[in-house]
């Protein structure tokens, strides 16, 4: 699939505050636990210009 921001061509995307990645301190290191969603659906926005990205659930590799 082509997954770039159509406006600025960025390939980096960020979540908004409805998603929380949880890290836990284990043996002195931060270990990723899980991702908690307030909304069930993941929403991504372009890191550069904040354009909302449209994608399907099956395109997520989580
Ligand atoms: Zn963009």
CA 24 to each of CA 30, 42, 61: distance values in angstroms, whole numbers, following the listed order? 5, 22, 22
Q: Which two tokens stand for residue 7?
A: 């406006």
CB-proximal residues (5 Å) to ion ligand 1? 5, 7-8, 10, 46, 48-49, 51
Q: What is the pLDDT of residue 55?
A: 82
Q: How far, in Å, from the CA of 27 to the mean position of ligand 1?
A: 39
Q: Which two tokens stand for residue 62?
A: 């989580």
Q: What is the pLDDT of residue 25?
A: 84
Q: How far, in Å, from the CA of 43 to the mean position of ligand 1?
A: 14
Consecutive 10-residue runs of the chain (62 residues): their mean pLDDT?
83 74 84 74 85 82 70
Q: What is the pLDDT of residue 7?
A: 92
Per residue, what are the HEC states of 21-50?
A: EEEEEECCEEEEEEEEECCCCCCEEECCCC
What is the pTM (predicted TM-score) of this model? 0.52
């Amino acid at each position: 699939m082509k997954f770039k921001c159509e406006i600025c061509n960025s390939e980096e995307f960020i979540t908004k505050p409805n998603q929380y990645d949880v890290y836990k301190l284990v043996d002195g290191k931060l270990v990723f636990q899980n991702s908690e969603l307030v909304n069930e659906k993941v929403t991504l926005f372009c890191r550069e210009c904040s354009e909302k990205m449209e994608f399907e659930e099956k395109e997520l590799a989580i």
